[in-house]
Structure 1
Amino acid sequence: MKKGFVTAFAVFLFFSVFPHVETFAIANTPIHWGFNKGKNGQQADAGAAYNAVLQKYGGVYKGNPKDKYLYLTFDNGYENGYTPKILDVLKKEKVPAIFFVTGHYLKSQPDLVKRMVAEGHIIGNHSWGHPDMTQISDAQVREELAKVKEETARITGQKEMKYLRPPRGILSERTMQLANEEGYTHVLWSLAYQDWDVNRQHGARYAYDSIMSQIHPGAIILLHTVSKDNAEVLERVIKDLKKQGYKFKSMDDFMKIEKVKK
């Protein structure tokens, strides 16, 4: 009896100190997204362990290596004056994209978000406050996602939100499971370069080479709209990739083509 009391008290004390510990029944070890870059038309590869986790929870980062399809994605944490030009290029070239937005972007740039949806692009969830979601509670993760979805619907009328890009590229099995429960698919990427640092822009040629050297069939391309270089080079990149036989598809197309299931 005494032993049972001690055990019960220990459990009570543990959950009092760690009220969200139930979430850690599913592994919460942070995964900092990364991969071996694609080269000479060969696909990028995140390795067996990361591939297995994504497959388990229905996350994606690249498509079929036999299809010359590309998926253009942008992360929008704040506006730096270049998104209108990027949207102009996408419209001119008839290329669909998905923009992963934060709460700050929704609050500060509602007109641009409206334009994205009006021109046929998808708004994805990049969280409200851009936290490391492996370090916050289940309830906080759900709130981060819900606020972006609700504000996007209010601004644009886009009622459905299906795609999530984890802030900072950090995720875990726990956060993936939570996202699945909220109806989201994790969309990572297989092509990126250091374009997000506005103090380290190296010119259009550098941006062009960084993208084209990594291109591969099925690539999910991550770009940041804060980059001056991206805005300057995007049209050339798109036109040259079309000349190589690539076709740009939306994330909704990706899900149909790849038949992704959570």
Structure 2
Amino acid sequence: MKKLLAILFSLLLSFSTIVSASVSNAPIHWGFKKSSNEEPVEAGKEYDELLEKYGAFYKGDPKKKVIFLTFDNGYENGYTAKVLDVLKKEKVPAAFFITGHYLESASDLVKRMADEGHIVGNHSYYHPDMTTVSDERFYRELEKVRAGTEEITGVRHMVYLRPPRGVFSERTLLKAKEMGYTHVFWSLAFVDWYRDDQKGWQYSYNNVMKQIHPGAVLLLHTVSKDNADALETIIKDLKKKGYTFKSLDEYTRGEAMKDPIFKIRKRNK
């Protein structure tokens, strides 16, 4: 059986390689003009159409004051437990995108994320520029994180992927979609990942508040003490401004319901 599965995997990989060779692998570095005055960001028509083609997204509905809170976890720096405490206290869902290093060194926190109802997303095992790796390594980078997460949390399926370094291509969008992943980018971020260059909680707070906008996918790094210290105030003050926090699952489910196929199925029930 194992031999048969290996042969099937090899054939599938060969076919996938042929297909992916037909699309561009030119690297794209995710970026956009930052929001101000609560105006939703715009990545531009070209990026919008490319992401839509592969079911990827970087923001929610710009007409709804909803925030999707996400964290990138490359390694543990002692602040994730505090972040989880705040989320639990404020009843806010989040998504944590983890690497292999984080999976191995902070398995207790990964389990806690899942146990407390948060999404655990894939950030690749070794955090490479995914546009530079082979199709086989692309698969293994993601599958190793998924399998390791399942072993710790019991959650079999990983749905969301955030590309390491924010670098992607049409090829990597295609490869991820073939594996059942949805690329999740972001519409609000700032430089917060230098653990030896912390500026105080007000720095994090100010950067979030001045860029916030309806439908924001907010990216924070848990290595930042500033973020951990500011998070509770950020959440409380955004709630006062009329914002609510929702899970990525609620957004993707909402998008699926807009699909004509969904509407046909609903009518036929």
TM-score w.r.t. structure 1 length?
0.90
Which residue of the partner structure matches residue 174 of structure 1?
171
* CA distances 1:53-112 after superposition (whole Å, capped 9, x unpaired): 101111100011111110000000000000000000000000000000000000000100
Bigger drift between 115-124 and 195-204 goes to 195-204
* Matching of residue 227 in structure 1 with residue 202 in structure 2: no
* CA distances 1:191-230 after superposition (whole Å, capped 9, x unpaired): 0010011122211111111000000000000000000000
Match for residue 78 of structure 2 among 56, 60, 81: 81
Q: Structure 2: which 5+ residue stretches go unaligned? A: 1-16, 260-269
Could you tell me how far apart the structure 2 residues matched to 1:202 and 1:191 are? Answer: 19
AA aligned to 1:248 is F
Match for residue 248 of structure 1 among 231, 245, 250: 245
Q: Structure 1: which 5+ residue stretches go unaligned? A: 1-19
AA aligned to 2:134 is S
Could you tell me how far apart the structure 2 residues matched to 1:206 and 1:127 are? Answer: 29
> Residues 64 and 258 of structure 1 are in contact (CA less than 8 Å); yes or no, is this contact kept in structure 2?
no
Superposition deviation, residue 35 in structure 1: 0.8
* Matching of residue 28 in structure 1 with residue 21 in structure 2: no
TM-score w.r.t. structure 2 length?
0.88
- Identity over aligned pairs, percent: 60
Could you tell me how far apart the structure 2 residues matched to 1:90 and 1:23 are? Answer: 39
> Residues 63 and 258 of structure 1 are in contact (CA less than 8 Å); yes or no, is this contact kept in structure 2?
no
Match for residue 181 of structure 2 among 180, 184, 188: 184
Match for residue 61 of structure 1 among 27, 45, 58: 58
> Residues 191 and 220 of structure 1 are in contact (CA less than 8 Å); yes or no, is this contact kept in structure 2?
yes
Tell me the SS of whatever aligns to 2:95: strand
Indicate the structure (1 or 2) with the bigger Cα radius of gyration.
Answer: 1
Superposition deviation, residue 46 in structure 1: 1.0
Could you tell me how far apart the structure 1 residues matched to 2:101 and 2:149 are? Answer: 12
> Residues 20 and 174 of structure 2 are in contact (CA less than 8 Å); yes or no, is this contact kept in structure 1?
no
Match for residue 206 of structure 2 among 193, 209, 223: 209
Superposition deviation, residue 50 in structure 1: 1.2
Which residue of the partner structure matches residue 44 of structure 1?
41
Written as runs of structure 1 = structure 2, the 5 A alignment for 1:142-181 is 142-181=139-178
Aligned residues: 242
